[in-house]
A and B are shown apart, each in its own frame.
Chain A
């Protein structure tokens, strides 16, 4: 235990550091505090103080608001409550034997802020004290994954991990492609923000997953329901925020290594992060991060899914210069992946497709291999982001964000070309590139008598094309969007009201290569402009310190995307036709969504905590695909054919999540979500809505022993149940290749602990999924027509933080 003695003294030293930071930041904080009406404010700052290692509550910890010198001690269950006026505060939490922590908290409504203190012994090994910006609570229902919950998804694709959040499902294509679906809406209706920049990939294909490495994120947040005023008119269904940790603000260098291994498909993933803050230049911070992931053939119960391997290589880097009143950050990330496609799922002719669907298991199975053969997709995405802010004492804060991203997608068919020259060139059958520049300027004004808010302008310029000589499916297009928005929030006592308004002006120019009836090639050029409004009204009411009610209503108009208007061609033996190309249709106009959501959350209780969300989204002119009759015939036979059409739709549903602490060490958790989607014009159910699902888990946390080598031990048993989707359009057998598959229940078991190995706290977990190795298929997985889902899988996850700073 020799190392502990010098450590303690250093522990005291580190305790000074936040103090110094606070001193520097004080004038600013005071300014904010002074600018509000004195006395009588009742904005609740509450939360829980926990031991970071054991997650146990810390009773009697001291919570001090440095600006006002208000102080309180935590209750036996670790909770604290403070009443504050709106403003920015520095809150310090301390407890004997733990490193005190100071964070900046922006109070503009009731704020929930939990603290996890590091024991001193750990602090010596380099725990980093970080100020973290609190996002103001939104009236919309949100769900997020961070800390241990996020750690439990490491190694999974982004869309797969998000399914942990109730109300979020995914449209899946095999083991590696997951498109997030929020309350039954997806693709063009869900906006993904990668580190604050709208991800502009190629959303149109059902087998096009988001091109983001989830290891970048320290938190994944989903805003469920329309959030168009802030994030743009596409966000009718919701928003996914992929948020990296803020750059390090304490001097030194740290690192983290994540390792994941899976038994089923031999997936191996390693992701490392190194970050630092320069001692001589405290404003300068940096981070570099990289991920390597490879997976081999996936195993369904009884057979391997041939060519289901994939590989992924990603990296990102960030450099920031941050002072109290201004800051600048540059971020670059690159994502590269190659995904094998199951031969059965790559049918180019309808008869092959029907034959593959009729088989109980794919005709061609294989042994295990990491090789990726034809057919495959090769995708890369890069993003450069520059963001800066200026804070002035009187005016508020001005933030500018610029992003430039390029998405490349090459799809290779099962067989190379028949023609020898063409085969030698070995070009992909589909080869798309999409380049987008986005910019946003946001001004957050200083609090004015209970009002806080922001005004912003945002612009997007996008150019989409396909490689010369390859097949066109989506035309060349240039898309320009200019938007302006304002969101204002009024806070009084336990009420917060928020109103927002936005307008987007959009132009779309398309250039589509096509042939006339004699086969003569020509380019069809078109141009469109739209002006679409969005407005929202929301309220948050803290009924009690433990019950919060959120209500949100909004109106959004979404201009149609290029694929909804002009897709034209055959992909995977299906013919797809855009709305504008259907004879007699004319130009496609925007759709209008009316969303209402009500959320009740029951929080910070010793035993029962939970959240219930009810919502309804009505979409007039809902743009969707429906079968073309009679179907289109080509040289390969009669194709399953779809065209984009408009109708009116209504989606309703609920999400429920709750945890109950049975005993100090035992916790039961449950989640359920239900979506009902109706086509109100045809008076029938909508296609491809997620089936009802529920999840139940029991968790046992092993009591902590002082100075133990193993801490934070837990065991969790869970089951996940999905019903058969019975709410489908009438005469469904004629509209889909197969009826929705039967429901299923899966069993999972997970155990984990933090192992103190020398000075390193290794977080290790072992998780088994589909333990009974059941055969099942999921309605929202495109591979369901051909093959079963993944069989039993055991995942090992290891997370190791390092502190690389020199010790003195």
Chain B
């Protein structure tokens, strides 16, 4: 019976060594996702070419994916006007907020913005170029036509295509990093 007890003791010993090795750092808390690259804020600023008050429209989602829905502004432009557009992108979950515009500018040869108005008389053209002489779209010229019919609103879709090693001026290569729809009206 002694040998049996000894064997049981041996088993218990083995048990305890495995169990005891399991308890370091288990009470740790998660830390903020500093390495997670995200864009929380996009601001499109349109300044009338002839001078006047700039118009801005903003997409903002500070709590990340899900949770509270993002706030998406409405773009209201004057008819038959030419504007100079600039785009600003930020990650406001980081402290200080991360300037994504600068990072895009730095790697301009990998990025291409698309501006697609619909249901409103607006034309947007890109006015900046990367080192390969392909357009970028951080700065633009926006030209409006006649006002929207009363009670109608169109949209402006701004898309950022991330195209490392494959940018050729078209939409197809790469993947979409930003796709925001602003309700847009010319009035």
Q: Pick from B10, B35, B100: contact of A470, CB below 8 A.
A: B35
- Chain A residue, CB-CB nearest to B35: A469
Q: Which residues of chain A have C-beta atoms less than 8 A from B40's C-beta?
A: 519, 635
Q: Pick from A388, A414, A523, A635: contact of B180, CB below 8 A.
A: A635
A602 interface contact, C-beta 8 A: no
A705 interface contact, C-beta 8 A: no
CB pair B18 A429 closer than 8 Å: no
**A513 with B15: in contact, given A349-B179, A419-B98 (CB under 8 Å)?**
no
In A458-473, which residues have CB < 8 Å from any B CB? 461, 463, 465-466, 468-472
**A470 with B26: in contact, given A400-B11, A517-B62, A635-B178 (CB under 8 Å)?**
no
Q: Pick from B18, B62, B67, B175: contact of A384, CB below 8 A.
A: B18
Assembled-state Cα–Cα distance A532/B38 (Å): 41
Distance between B29 CB and nearest chain A CB, rounded to angstroms: 5
Q: Which residues of chain A have C-beta atoms less than 8 A from B18's C-beta?
A: 384, 386, 402-404, 437, 439
**A418 with B100: in contact, given A404-B22, A517-B68 (CB under 8 Å)?**
yes
B39 interface contact, C-beta 8 A: yes
CB pair A469 B36 closer than 8 Å: yes
Digitize B33-49: 1 where CB-to-A-CB distance is under 8 Å, 0 elsewhere.
Answer: 11111111010000000
B149 interface contact, C-beta 8 A: no
CB pair B65 A637 closer than 8 Å: no
A636 interface contact, C-beta 8 A: yes
CB pair A352 B30 closer than 8 Å: no
Q: Pick from A402, A521, A637, A639: contact of B32, CB below 8 A.
A: A521
CB pair A636 B178 closer than 8 Å: yes
Assembled-state Cα–Cα distance A634/B38 (Å): 10
Assembled-state Cα–Cα distance A471/B38 (Å): 10
CB pair B176 A470 closer than 8 Å: no
Q: Which residues of chain A have C-beta atoms less than 8 A from B33's C-beta?
A: 469-472, 513
Digitize A462-491: 1 where CB-to-B-CB distance is under 8 Å, 0 elsewhere.
Answer: 010110111110011010000000000000
CB pair A466 B66 closer than 8 Å: no
The range of chain A's interface size is: 35 or more
CB pair A388 B35 closer than 8 Å: no
Name the residue among A350, A403, A417, A519 with the largest chain B CB count within 10 angstroms: A519
Q: Which residues of chain B have C-beta atoms less than 8 A from A384's C-beta?
A: 18
Q: Which residues of chain A have C-beta atoms less than 8 A from B38's C-beta?
A: 635
CB pair A415 B164 closer than 8 Å: yes
The range of chain B's interface size is: 35 or more
A542 interface contact, C-beta 8 A: no
Distance between B112 CB and nearest chain A CB, rounded to angstroms: 14
Q: Pick from A417, A419, A516, A577: contact of B66, CB below 8 A.
A: A577
CB pair B103 A418 closer than 8 Å: yes
Segment from A23-31, A568-576, A752-760 that makes contact with B? A568-576
Q: Which residues of chain B have C-beta atoms less than 8 A from A326's C-beta?
A: 7
Distance between A564 CB and nearest chain B CB, rounded to angstroms: 16
Digitize B161-174: 1 where CB-to-A-CB distance is under 8 Å, 0 elsewhere.
Answer: 01010000000100
**A419 with B103: in contact, given A392-B4, A517-B68, A575-B65 (CB under 8 Å)?**
yes
Segment from A96-104, A304-312, A420-428, A589-597 that makes contact with B? A420-428
Q: Which residues of chain A have C-beta atoms less than 8 A from B68's C-beta?
A: 517
CB pair A390 B35 closer than 8 Å: no
Assembled-state Cα–Cα distance A465/B28 (Å): 9
B55 interface contact, C-beta 8 A: no
CB pair A635 B39 closer than 8 Å: yes
Q: Pick from B35, B92, B175: contact of A415, CB below 8 A.
A: B175
Assembled-state Cα–Cα distance A493/B62 (Å): 71
B2 interface contact, C-beta 8 A: no
CB pair A518 B62 closer than 8 Å: yes
Q: Which residues of chain B have C-beta atoms less than 8 A from A637's C-beta?
A: 176, 179
- Chain A residue, CB-CB nearest to B70: A633
**A404 with B21: in contact, given A418-B37, A425-B35, A633-B70 (CB under 8 Å)?**
yes
A279 interface contact, C-beta 8 A: no
Q: Which residues of chain A have C-beta atoms less than 8 A from B30's C-beta?
A: 465-466, 468, 472, 475-476, 511-513, 523
Assembled-state Cα–Cα distance A177/B161 (Å): 30
CB pair B175 A515 closer than 8 Å: no
Assembled-state Cα–Cα distance A392/B8 (Å): 12
CB pair B14 A386 closer than 8 Å: yes
B82 interface contact, C-beta 8 A: no
CB pair A516 B63 closer than 8 Å: yes
B145 interface contact, C-beta 8 A: no
Assembled-state Cα–Cα distance A552/B62 (Å): 53
Q: Which residues of chain B have C-beta atoms less than 8 A from A415's C-beta?
A: 162, 164, 175
Distance between B152 CB and nearest chain A CB, rounded to angstroms: 22
Q: Which residues of chain A have C-beta atoms less than 8 A from B65's C-beta?
A: 569-570, 575, 632, 634, 639
CB pair A390 B4 closer than 8 Å: yes
Q: Pick from A400, A512, A575: contact of B15, CB below 8 A.
A: A400
Q: Which residues of chain B have C-beta atoms less than 8 A from A468's C-beta?
A: 30-31
Assembled-state Cα–Cα distance A418/B159 (Å): 17
Assembled-state Cα–Cα distance A400/B16 (Å): 12
A363 interface contact, C-beta 8 A: yes
Q: Which residues of chain A have C-beta atoms less than 8 A from B29's C-beta?
A: 476, 511, 513, 523
Besides the known contacts A634-B61, A637-B179, 5 further A-B residue pairs in the complex with CB atoms under 8 A apart: A400-B14, A404-B21, A471-B36, A515-B64, A517-B67
Residues of A whose CB lies within 8 Å of any CB of B are 326, 328, 347-352, 363, 384, 386, 388, 390, 392, 398, 400, 402-404, 414-415, 417-420, 422, 425, 427, 429, 435, 437, 439, 461, 463, 465-466, 468-472, 475-476, 478, 511-519, 521, 523, 568-570, 575, 577, 632-637, 639
Give 16 pairs: A residue, B residue, CB < 8 Å, sorted on A: A328-B10, A349-B177, A390-B4, A400-B11, A402-B14, A415-B164, A418-B104, A420-B103, A435-B22, A472-B30, A513-B29, A515-B64, A570-B66, A635-B179, A636-B178, A639-B65
